[in-house]
């Protein structure tokens, strides 16, 4: 255990930069081990490389484990650095490929260009034509990495690597040369707005937190990322936990708090594990605890795993949960900055908000405000998922259009399908149709489109998705997760769900659309907390933009996307049938009869309406 | 089959140790419930009463918290826990069908346990690995890009 002084940070940075040269490593293999990489099989590859090193009697290879590199759909990935060669990122790996890369790249010093995705940043000095540079690949070209600046670059278990990328340099600057007031001033200048979705100006929140003199005060980091389809906070905590810790300590200094808590979803065990390790290492270095960096300032952080409740993402509910109670939001005021955890002044920010703080302090608020739109500054991280080619984590300047994100970064829609909608903001957000793809992502323009920024989940849907069913899905979610405290949300959402269930079962009535709209507006206006105020958004937005689908369900008793099984006939259109037999193979109950050169037919008595044949058919011949 | 049996003596002792560890601490209830559930697999009524007595809280308070959070269960769990992700990305890629298929094949409701007590089937709201949609988790293993008709085969690997 070595307690650091401020001047030691620079020394660590220089030492780590030279480690490959000085310690004469032959290569450094960086396995990208986020939850995504591990599920794709990264651990197996890691074990294989260690075995190969053992077999060949090689010890001079540095193996590190970093977080997700962003392009999750191409996992497992590794980045290999070796003297004399540019750093290369390999993707879509399996055991065979990693074995070949080990033999050719590491042992023989040649780049295996057929498996390489790109030459990493820092490879400019090595002219190599066969593999593109990372910044030339469309997925990466449009991104600006501020909050995610360390993604996939640092060993999450080695605090020195973080320090080499200037972790805790912002803290050092704060402790040596800034007053709490000037820290708050800088954050205000930056124009940073809460990245959890609501967009409250972070600087103002801190100012309020400082104003109340009651002691003790608390800092809470909200990592209860409950939106289905969002994984920004998970990835950030897994790949760069120290940035979040540093942001929290700086906040503590600014508002005069000495204790912080990180509330993380229980569904994210890896994030909790890495955060625990990061806290322990930071404590050992004297970056957390008493007398931080010899400055006399004390601050400590504890982790609190959630217990599975979406509503706990709401700040007052989260604090009740931390107190060991049911997580039910309360009426504001008083705001949490006045009376939060245990009734004491508390500043709560989202993971991504805290991760932005160190860079704002290092580079100044003006730097952060230099990109973005009038009302939304800086960058925003989005989790891009669904029916796009490139699935992953993207960070773009505020004001980027949805079209850029879906088509340039996401690579557009999978094979012969058509774009239908992009869902933004999870159960609080909306489904936006193709004509709105030129909407800029910032808090205000999304609000105007009837959506909201939300925490940053972007799920792309194609023509195989039914919008009524999607609305039903989100309403079901909100009914499930409503805390039950206020009537509009508890009862109103249930009634909306009943109507939607009726529609997808083919029992919809003409007046149902109007009923849903009226009820939705009432719930929005009269609910108590953010969950209820936004829960009708998925229904209202799909009615607004996809009204014809509701009408098809209600009037024609037809589901255009063939998702709502009660409205699908399960009949083969013999004109469209190309007699390929794929549906027969897919059918689990042998309900389909087919022989070569005759169209398939479905025996409805055996059919269990599982839709396997619809998914298997490439010619949309089943209706 | 252990989960059908009453709580054993050594389990009671462990539960009491957990209570003693957190007694008098602020916000202890949820960590106590978590650790207790790790010990006996679920939180039946008598265990809830024991915790209430130990932490000087009312039993209704304990039940209020247990029933509020999805993480806690008052029914025994199977030997293997299957969790099907119903996050948005998985949903649009067909996880509903995985769930339907597993319900049919295992003859079990969501939230229930199979008759041989081998499997619990649960639906979860987003595991945060949307790039691998549709995903299911069996015990601690995440299975990515699951074909709905293959799901049962994956599950049967867990004996």
Q: Specify the number of domains making up chain A.
A: 5
Quote the minimal CA–CA distance from B6 to chain A in Å.
25
Residues of chain A in contact with residue B62, where contact means CB-CB under 8 angstroms, are: none
Distance separating alpha carbons of residues A592 and A604, to the nearest angstrom:
9
Residues of chain B in contact with residue A223, where contact means CB-CB under 8 angstroms, are: none
Q: Are A61 and A106 in contact (CB under 8 A)?
A: yes
State the pLDDT confidence band at A20, using cuts at 50, 70 and 90: low
Average pLDDT of the residues in A404-430: 92
Residues of chain B in contact with residue A426, where contact means CB-CB under 8 angstroms, are: 88
Beta strands in A176-313 (DSSP E): 218-223, 259-264, 300-305
Cβ of A229 and B89 within 8 Å?
yes
Provide the terminal-to-terminal Cα distance of chain B, rounded to the nearest Å.
14
Q: Which of A39, A611, A615 to probe the B interface (max B CBs under 10 A)?
A: A39
Verify that A406 and A314 share a domain, yes or no.
no
- Nearest in space to A209 (alpha carbons), one of A225, A230, A224, A187: A187
CA angle A229–A231–A235, rounded 5-degree value: 165
User: Tens of pLDDT along A200-246?
Assistant: 999 999 999 999 999 999 999 999 998 888 899 999 999 999 999 99
Cβ of B88 and A386 within 8 Å?
yes
Quote the minimal CA–CA distance from B145 to chain A in Å.
9
Verify that A351 and A452 share a domain, yes or no.
no
pLDDT at A511: 96
Residue A4 lies in a domain: no
For residue A71 the two structure tokens come to 């392009």
Long-range contacts from B47-52, C-beta under 8 angstroms, 24+ separation? B47/B7, B47/B15, B50/B12, B50/B15, B50/B16, B50/B19, B51/B15, B51/B19
Residues of chain B in contact with residue A454, where contact means CB-CB under 8 angstroms, are: none
Verify that A212 and A322 share a domain, yes or no.
yes
Residue of chain A with shortest Cα separation from B93: A386
Residues of chain A in contact with residue B104, where contact means CB-CB under 8 angstroms, are: 608
Q: Are A130 and A113 in contact (CB under 8 A)?
A: yes
Distance separating alpha carbons of residues A128 and A307, to the nearest angstrom:
50
pLDDT at B1: 37
Residues of chain B in contact with residue A465, where contact means CB-CB under 8 angstroms, are: 92
Cβ of A385 and B89 within 8 Å?
yes
Verify that A478 and A411 share a domain, yes or no.
no
- Nearest in space to A269 (alpha carbons), one of B129, B122, B48: B129
Q: Beta strand A27-32 with A61-66: parallel, antiparallel or unpaired?
A: parallel
* A426 contact B CB<8A: yes
Cβ of B128 and A321 within 8 Å?
no
Q: What is the domain-level CATH number for residue A389?
A: 3.10.20.600
Query: DSSP for A346-398?
Result: EEEEEHHHHHHHHHHHHH-HHHHHTSB-SS-BSEEEEEEEESBSS-EEEEEET
Distance separating alpha carbons of residues B59 and B51, to the nearest angstrom:
8
Q: Which of A324, A467, A591 to probe the B interface (max B CBs under 10 A)?
A: A324
Verify that A358 and A306 share a domain, yes or no.
yes
Q: How is domain B80-156 classified at the CATH fold level?
A: Glutaredoxin (3.40.30)
Q: CA dist A383 to A402, A406, A451, B130, Å?
A: 13, 11, 16, 8
Verify that A326 and A193 share a domain, yes or no.
yes
CA angle A237–A243–A245, rounded 5-degree value: 80
**Between A and B, how many CB-CB pairs are < 8 A?**
141
Average pLDDT of the residues in A264-289: 94
Residue A162 lies in a domain: no
Q: Are A253 and A174 in contact (CB under 8 A)?
A: yes
Verify that A356 and A210 share a domain, yes or no.
yes
Q: What is the domain-level CATH number for residue A331?
A: 3.40.50.11540
Distance separating alpha carbons of residues A241 and B74, to the nearest angstrom:
34
Query: DSSP for B80-149?
Result: EEEEEE-SHHHHHTTHHHHHHHHHHHHT--TT-B-TTS-EEEEEES--S-GGG-S-EEETTEEE-S--TT
Q: What is the domain-level CATH number for residue A68?
A: 3.40.30.10
pLDDT at B7: 84
* A473 contact B CB<8A: yes
DSSP annotation of A405 reads: I
CA angle B25–A348–A366, rounded 5-degree value: 145
pLDDT at B2: 42
- Nearest in space to A441 (alpha carbons), one of A376, A386, A347, A367: A376
For residue B134 the two structure tokens come to 């549709």
Quote the minimal CA–CA distance from A393 to chain B in Å.
9
Residues of chain B in contact with residue A306, where contact means CB-CB under 8 angstroms, are: 71
CA angle A84–A85–A87, rounded 5-degree value: 135
Percent of chain A with pLDDT over 70: 99
Verify that A210 and A351 share a domain, yes or no.
yes
Cβ of B91 and A228 within 8 Å?
yes
Which residues 6+ apart lie within 8 Å of B108 measured at CB?
B102, B114, B115, B119, B121
Q: Which of A317, A425, A459, A606 to probe the B interface (max B CBs under 10 A)?
A: A459
Residue A229 lies in a domain: yes
pLDDT at A19: 73
Residue carrying structure tokens 């949903």: B91
For residue B92 the two structure tokens come to 């649009």
Verify that A359 and A284 share a domain, yes or no.
yes
* A477 contact B CB<8A: yes
For residue A494 the two structure tokens come to 């249930």
* Domain region containing A50: 18-134
Distance separating alpha carbons of residues A455 and A275, to the nearest angstrom:
20
DSSP annotation of A209 reads: H
- Which of A462, A483, A507 terminates a domain? The answer is A462
pLDDT over 70 at A357, yes or no: yes
Verify that A179 and A275 share a domain, yes or no.
yes
* A354 contact B CB<8A: no
Query: DSSP for A106-162?
Result: IIT----TTTEEEEPTT-TTS---SS-BGGGSHHHHT---STTTTTTTS-TT-HHHH
pLDDT at A239: 94
Q: Are A496 and A539 in contact (CB under 8 A)?
A: yes
Verify that A359 and A294 share a domain, yes or no.
yes
pLDDT at A126: 73
pLDDT at B40: 86
- Which of A441, A462, A483 terminates a domain? The answer is A462
State the pLDDT confidence band at A18, using cuts at 50, 70 and 90: confident
- Nearest in space to A442 (alpha carbons), one of A371, A388, A390: A371
Q: Are A260 and A299 in contact (CB under 8 A)?
A: yes
Residues of chain A in contact with residue B88, where contact means CB-CB under 8 angstroms, are: 228-229, 385-386, 423, 426, 457, 459, 473-474
Percent of chain A with pLDDT over 90: 76
Q: Beta strand A601-602 with A592-593: parallel, antiparallel or unpaired?
A: antiparallel
pLDDT at A190: 97
Distance separating alpha carbons of residues A422 and B73, to the nearest angstrom:
35
The H-or-E segment that residue A32 falls in is: strand A27-32
Q: Beta strand A27-32 with A78-81: parallel, antiparallel or unpaired?
A: antiparallel
pLDDT at B159: 84
Closest Cβ opposite residue A231 in set B86, B129, B142:
B129
Verify that A206 and A311 share a domain, yes or no.
yes
Average pLDDT of the residues in A181-199: 94
Residues of chain B in contact with residue A72, where contact means CB-CB under 8 angstroms, are: 129-132
User: Tens of pLDDT along A547-567?
Assistant: 999 999 999 999 999 999 999
pLDDT over 80 at A125, yes or no: no
State the pLDDT confidence band at A121, using cuts at 50, 70 and 90: confident
State the pLDDT confidence band at A266, using cuts at 50, 70 and 90: confident
DSSP annotation of A442 reads: S
Cβ of B34 and A305 within 8 Å?
yes
Residues of chain A in contact with residue B26, where contact means CB-CB under 8 angstroms, are: 323-324, 342
Chain B residues whose C-beta is within 8 A of a chain A C-beta are 26-30, 33-34, 64-65, 68-72, 86-89, 91-94, 97, 100-101, 104, 124-133, 135, 142-144, 148-149
Question: Where exactly are the structural domains of chain B?
Answer: 2-68, 80-156
List per-residue pLDDT tens for chain B, 159 residues long: 344 568 889 999 999 999 999 998 888 999 999 999 999 889 999 999 999 999 999 999 999 999 999 889 988 888 899 999 998 889 888 898 899 999 999 999 998 889 888 999 999 888 878 888 899 999 888 888 898 888 999 999 998
Residue A143 lies in a domain: no
pLDDT over 90 at A610, yes or no: no
Weakest-pLDDT range from A151-160, A170-179, A532-541, B123-132 = B123-132
Average pLDDT of the residues in A531-560: 96
State the pLDDT confidence band at A1, using cuts at 50, 70 and 90: low
Cβ of A308 and B129 within 8 Å?
no
- Nearest in space to A511 (alpha carbons), one of A554, A448, A466: A554
Cβ of B129 and A36 within 8 Å?
yes
Closest Cβ opposite residue B64 in set A75, A326, A392:
A326
Cβ of A36 and B132 within 8 Å?
yes
């Amino acid at each position: 255990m070595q307690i650091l002084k401020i001047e030691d940070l620079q020394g660590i940075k220089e030492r780590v930069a030279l480690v490959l040269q000085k310690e004469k490593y032959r290569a450094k293999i960086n396995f990208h081990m986020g939850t995504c990489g591990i599920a794709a099989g990264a651990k197996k590859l890691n074990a294989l490389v260690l075995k190969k090193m053992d077999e060949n009697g090689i010890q001079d290879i540095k193996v590190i484990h970093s977080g997700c590199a962003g392009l999750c759909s191409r996992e497992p990935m590794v980045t290999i650095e070796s003297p004399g060669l540019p750093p290369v990122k390999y993707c879509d790996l399996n055991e065979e490929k990693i074995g070949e890369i080990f033999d050719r790249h590491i042992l023989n010093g040649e780049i295996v260009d057929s498996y390489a995705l790109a030459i990493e940043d820092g490879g400019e000095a090595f002219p190599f034509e066969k593999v593109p540079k990372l910044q030339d690949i469309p997925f990466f070209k449009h991104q600006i990495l501020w909050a995610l600046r360390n993604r996939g670059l640092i060993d999450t278990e080695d605090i020195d690597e973080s320090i080499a990328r200037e972790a805790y340099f912002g803290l050092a600057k704060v402790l040596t040369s800034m007053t709490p007031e000037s820290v708050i001033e800088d954050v205000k200048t930056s124009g940073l707005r809460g990245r959890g979705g609501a967009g409250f100006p972070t600087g103002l929140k801190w100012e309020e937190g400082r104003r109340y003199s009651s002691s003790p005060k608390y800092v809470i980091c909200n990592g209860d990322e409950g939106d289905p389809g969002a994984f920004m906070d998970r990835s950030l905590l897994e790949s760069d936990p120290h940035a979040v810790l540093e942001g929290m300590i700086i906040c503590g200094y600014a508002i005069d708090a000495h204790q912080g808590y990180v509330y993380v979803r229980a569904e994210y065990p890896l994030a909790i594990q890495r955060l625990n390790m990061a806290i322990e290492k930071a404590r050992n270095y004297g970056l957390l605890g008493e007398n931080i960096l010899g400055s006399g300032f004390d601050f400590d952080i504890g982790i609190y795993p959630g217990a599975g409740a979406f509503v706990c993402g709401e700040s007052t509910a989260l604090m009740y949960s931390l107190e060991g109670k049911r997580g039910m939001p309360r009426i504001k005021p008083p705001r949490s900055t006045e009376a939060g955890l245990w009734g004491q002044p508390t500043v709560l920010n989202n993971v991504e908000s805290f991760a932005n703080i160190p860079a704002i302090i290092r580079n100044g608020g003006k730097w952060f405000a230099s990109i973005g739109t009038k009302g939304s500054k800086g960058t925003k991280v989005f989790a891009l998922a669904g029916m796009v080619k490139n699935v992953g984590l993207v960070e773009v300047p505020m004001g980027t259009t949805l079209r850029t994100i879906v088509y340039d970064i996401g690579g557009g829609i999978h094979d012969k399908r058509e774009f239908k909608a992009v869902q933004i903001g999870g159960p609080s957000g909306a489904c936006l149709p193709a004509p709105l793809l030129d909407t800029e992502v910032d808090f205000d323009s999304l609000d105007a489109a009837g959506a909201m920024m939300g925490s940053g989940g972007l799920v792309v849907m194609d023509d195989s998705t039914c919008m009524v069913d999607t609305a039903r899905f989100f309403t079901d979610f909100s009914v499930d997760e409503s805390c039950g405290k206020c009537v509009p949300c508890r009862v109103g959402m249930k009634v909306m769900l009943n109507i939607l269930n009726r529609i997808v079962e083919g029992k919809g009535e003409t007046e149902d659309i109007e009923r849903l709209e009226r009820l939705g507006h009432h719930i929005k206006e009269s609910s108590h907390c953010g969950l209820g105020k936004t829960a009708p958004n998925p229904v209202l937005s799909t009615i607004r933009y996809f009204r014809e689908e509701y009408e098809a369900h209600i009037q024609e008793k037809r589901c255009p996307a063939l998702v709502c099984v009660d409205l699908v006939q399960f009949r083969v259109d013999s004109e469209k049938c190309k007699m390929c037999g794929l549906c027969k193979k897919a059918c689990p109950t042998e309900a389909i009869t087919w022989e070569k050169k005759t169209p398939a037919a479905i025996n409805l008595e055996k059919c269990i309406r599982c839709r396997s044949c619809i998914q298997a058919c490439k010619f949309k011949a089943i209706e | 089959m252990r989960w059908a049996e009453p709580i054993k003596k050594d389990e009671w002792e462990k539960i009491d140790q957990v209570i003693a560890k957190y007694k008098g601490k602020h916000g202890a209830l949820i960590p106590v419930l978590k650790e207790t559930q790790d010990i006996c697999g679920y939180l039946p009524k008598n265990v809830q009463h024991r915790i209430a007595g130990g932490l000087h809280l009312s039993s209704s308070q304990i039940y209020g918290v247990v029933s509020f959070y999805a993480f806690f269960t008052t029914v025994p769990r199977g030997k293997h826990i299957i969790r099907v992700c119903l996050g948005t990305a998985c949903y649009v890629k067909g996880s509903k069908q995985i769930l339907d298929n597993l319900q049919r094949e295992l003859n079990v409701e969501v939230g229930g346990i199979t008759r041989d007590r081998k499997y619990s089937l649960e639906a979860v709201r987003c595991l945060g690995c949307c790039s691998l949609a549709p995903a299911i988790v069996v015990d601690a293993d995440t299975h990515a890009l699951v074909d709905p008709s293959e799901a049962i085969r994956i599950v049967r690997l867990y004996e």
